[in-house]
Structure 1
Amino acid sequence: MRNKFLIVGGIVVILSWALGYFLKTDWWIPSLFTLVYALGIHNVTQKRHAILRNFPVLGYFRYFFEMISPEMQQYFIERETDGKPFPRNQRSAVYRRAKNISDTVPFGTQLEINQRKYEGIKHSIYAKSPSDELPRILVGNGQCRQPYNASLLNISAMSFGSLSDRAVLSLNRGAKKGKFYHNTGEGGISPYHLEAGGDLVWQIGTGYFGCRDAEGKFSPELFSEKAALPNVKMIEIKLSQGAKPGHGGVLPGVKNTPEIAQIRHVTPGMTIISPPGHSAFSDASGLLKFVQQLRDLSEGKPVGFKLCIGDTAEFEEICSQMNKLEIFPDFITIDGAEGGTGAAPPEFSDGVGMPLEPALIFVNRTLKKYGVRDKIRMIASGKVLTALDILRALAMGADMCNNARGFMFSLGCIQALRCNSNACPTGVATQDKMLIKGLDITDKSERVYHFHKNTLRTCNELIAASGRTSYSQVDASMFMRGDEFEHLSDQYFPDILKVSE
């Protein structure tokens, strides 16, 4: 679109001036074309808005409709999310934090509070002053020789292939500056993960991309070679993901470029479907032995696994085998069924797997039941977008959080839902070189950095508002829910309730 505008627009401007000269028409028509063309050139050269860089002049229509009313903005969001909009107030907060501008809004609360569904933090009359220090968590038990001091909030798994090279590089630059980690996703480690020098969690999926042999099996030699990279701080075995638990990942053939195929050790141009399960193991003991194998091959770096909880008996069996084999993963990433940025069949995304809240509670209680909770860090992943989401996850047992959606918004994602068609208009989730050029790495990496920093600062402010002084004091007692209001109403206003009935 950008090149077509420059070529066609230039021809139109020249023709309009030529016709004006020969036909002796009014000069306002060619002047108007010239002004529009000049505006388009400005759009193409500016670096803050990928939509305007890729769709000069036409991109203003979207911003105009979003500007004139919140209702029209909501209309666009609903169109982009198949009638299931991400909460506008949360999405707006992400954009403001990413742009490092005030995320306060005028005129107080912007939504009608439903007291039955309401959930919030119990503030204290004796609020504290918030800390300026951003929280960090040490990952690595006694079986780990290279523990990693991680940030409380990090970038969740998104592969190069699903994302563009500029998107990956922007994320990693932001992670480098903010000192938090960037999960590679199951697509393997690309040059764009390494160029900026940001910390990486290398995710090993069922396709073993980047460490697979000619038959698609796990290759210890290739793994140990890449695991030795200084950028790689931890290794995560992906068992399942919230978007489609029990279903393998998909890289459409149109996005499988020769460069991506070389990184993944696959044939270019083919649609790559990861197997639903691992070939390196098939039971709980096999999983834990694989954890130990990867720990040995990586010279003692922290190793864990990621899963969306399904059959709870299977997770209990894993915990039982930990004690039997005396092999303990350094961390477990719990993905909620409501999470995931990957494309998936609707039945999988909507009807398979356990949501994050009960999953965190279950995993936390089960690890304690088997006496291994103190050896393992719990990482929450699944629409953990805002500071409130982070504290809620910590209250349910998590030690730290991963997020994909918020960092996607920081890159400029508008939820156009064209990720799997290679036509992402912002250049975030495409391999189309013309669209990718619209994404400015310098600008977007700063937004990634600011979103992380400002979100954690808000976490500090919320903890202080609740009268607490550290993250170790975060628990369920910090939160209030609608059923508490009903209990209070029942207790103090029984007559009013009877009348209303």
Structure 2
Amino acid sequence: YEWMHHSVAPKPHADENFRVSIGGPECTRPYSASVFNISAMSFGALSPNAVRALNAGAKKGGFAHDTGEGGVSPYHRENGGDIIWEVGSGYFGCRHLDGTFDPDEFARIATDDQIKMVELKISQGAKPGHGGVLPAAKVSEEISRIRGVAMNEDCISPATHRAFSTPLEMMAFVGEMRRLSGGKPAGFKLCIGHPWEFLAICKAMLQTGIYPDFIVVDGNEGGTGAAPLEFMDHMGMPMREGVNFVHNALIGINARSRIRIGAAGKIATAFDMARAMAIGADWCNSARGFMFALGCIQSLSCHTDRCPTGVTTQDPSRNRALFVPHKVERVYNYHHATLHALAELLAAAGLEHPQELRPIHFSQRTSTTEVQTFAKLYPSLRPGELIDGTSDPRFRDAWAMARPDSFAPAD
């Protein structure tokens, strides 16, 4: 059992419009983001009406809508909500015919004012290291055009990227995304796997001087309608451990103040948000919460194109089941009510903004006779500790194994 501590001197009800500024020293167009945003879900996986409703709700509520890796569709654009453009290993929407990255097409789309940040997808929590498939049955002429892929074929997101193969090259690519977007915040999303690989990315930051503006940490509890069962159950680091690992690694290389951390992975409530932010996250993303707001009933038919509620189908007759004006209000209300609940939690704890949350504000019963604060369960590194040389067993060996020129461990 876990709980949040309250104060005997609670604050008045806090302002619910919690924002966080995203953008490091190299970013010329920082973005003031809500602390609660729509996590990555692609057009193609979602129906046109689902994307319309999500983006219109984001516009009304002043929060951001992550496109997922399926490209920026007309349905993302028509209601004017803030967009985070996610680019995955298939480079959908910014690819040459052979599937390689097209920088000119990326720049053309990324410089649009509606797109506020650009995000490189390394992996997602539900199937890290696996890649993805949009079945041929769901690849319509429209999806083919938006993604730049062939019809009547499965649309494949490869497990690995072709634009880079080392941590140094990855940092250069993130820096290029920022340049091509006109100085907007550029970052990446991943689920933590081998610890030395993320620490290799940290060493590449130090060596190149190129830092992402943000990192979104997905957890292995993240959901999808199309992941192998073994991957969903057992592959990848859970979100809380991943967020805290990334948070401490950035502290250890003196980079935490310039890089924001987003958390994604089964976040649906204000308590989920507060808990994640206490151990390192600056903001949170939710997919399933907003899916439920759209009317998802978890029918497990996403891949069949026969979704009964119109959320994940490209069939026009089924898509009509999702009545956009009604769902816009539900999306807006879910976001508004969740932040209202977060404001109440913070006020009860004597705090005014989620950025004031610390591990000491939470406790967990670890056995029938013991209770520990999160400060004990998630101890922090000292600033610069990785650079100076750490004895912390969570990082010592992995840091020694990390190489900026390769994701493979050092001997």
> TM-score normalised to the size of structure 1?
0.73
Displacement of 1:342 in angstroms is: 4.2
Q: Could you tell me which residue of structure 1 aligns to residue 279 of structure 2?
A: 396
Q: Could you tell me which residue of structure 2 aligns to residue 353 of structure 1?
A: 236
Instruction: Give the gaps of 5 or more residues in structure 1.
Output: 1-117, 489-501
- Does the Cα contact within 8 Å between 2:19 and 2:32 map onto a contact in 1? yes
What SS does structure 1 have at the residue aligned with 2:363? strand
Among 306, 312, 323, the residue aligned to 1:429 = 312
Counterparts of 1:222 and 1:469 in 2: how far apart (Å)? 43
Among 210, 222, 227, the residue aligned to 2:105 = 222
Q: How does 1:66-465 map to 2 (within 5 A)?
A: 118-465=1-348
- Does the Cα contact within 8 Å between 1:258 and 1:269 map onto a contact in 2? no
Counterparts of 1:423 and 1:342 in 2: how far apart (Å)? 13
What SS does structure 2 have at the residue aligned with 1:324? helix
What SS does structure 1 have at the residue aligned with 2:241? helix
Displacement of 1:485 in angstroms is: 6.8
Percent pairwise identity: 51
What do the CA deviations read for 1:139-179 (whole angstroms, capped 9, x no partner)? 00010010000000000000000000000000000000001
Indicate how the Cα distance of structure 1 residues 408 and 280 shifts in structure 2: closer, same or farther if over 3 A, else same: same
- Does the Cα contact within 8 Å between 1:341 and 1:404 map onto a contact in 2? no
- Does the Cα contact within 8 Å between 1:176 and 1:199 map onto a contact in 2? yes
Letter of the structure 1 residue corresponding to residue 168 of structure 2: S
Indicate how the Cα distance of structure 1 residues 184 and 244 shifts in structure 2: closer, same or farther if over 3 A, else same: same
Q: Which has the higher strand share?
A: 2
Counterparts of 1:485 and 1:467 in 2: how far apart (Å)? 29
Counterparts of 1:342 and 1:364 in 2: how far apart (Å)? 29
Counterparts of 2:241 and 2:15 in 1: how far apart (Å)? 32
Counterparts of 2:226 and 2:345 in 1: how far apart (Å)? 34
Counterparts of 1:141 and 1:275 in 2: how far apart (Å)? 30
Letter of the structure 2 residue corresponding to residue 302 of structure 1: P
Among 480, 486, 494, the residue aligned to 2:363 = 480
Displacement of 1:206 in angstroms is: 0.3
Counterparts of 2:27 and 2:209 in 1: how far apart (Å)? 13
What SS does structure 1 have at the residue aligned with 2:217? strand
What SS does structure 1 have at the residue aligned with 2:327? helix
Counterparts of 1:470 and 1:168 in 2: how far apart (Å)? 30
Q: Could you tell me which residue of structure 1 aligns to residue 407 of structure 2?
A: none
Counterparts of 2:200 and 2:345 in 1: how far apart (Å)? 38
What do the CA deviations read for 1:397-432 (whole angstroms, capped 9, x no partner)? 000011100000000001111111111100001111
- Does the Cα contact within 8 Å between 1:253 and 1:269 map onto a contact in 2? yes
- Does the Cα contact within 8 Å between 2:16 and 2:339 map onto a contact in 1? no
Letter of the structure 2 residue corresponding to residue 147 of structure 1: P
- Does the Cα contact within 8 Å between 2:221 and 2:266 map onto a contact in 1? yes
Instruction: Give the gaps of 5 or more residues in structure 2.
Output: 372-411
Counterparts of 2:363 and 2:203 in 1: how far apart (Å)? 35
Q: Could you tell me which residue of structure 1 aligns to residue 392 of structure 2?
A: none
Counterparts of 1:133 and 1:451 in 2: how far apart (Å)? 13
What SS does structure 2 have at the residue aligned with 1:415? coil
Displacement of 1:347 in angstroms is: 1.2
Higher-Rg structure is: 1
What SS does structure 1 have at the residue aligned with 2:370? helix
Letter of the structure 1 residue corresponding to residue 293 of structure 2: S
What SS does structure 2 have at the residue aligned with 1:486? coil
How many residues are aligned here?
Answer: 371
Counterparts of 1:365 and 1:412 in 2: how far apart (Å)? 38
- Does the Cα contact within 8 Å between 1:243 and 1:342 map onto a contact in 2? no
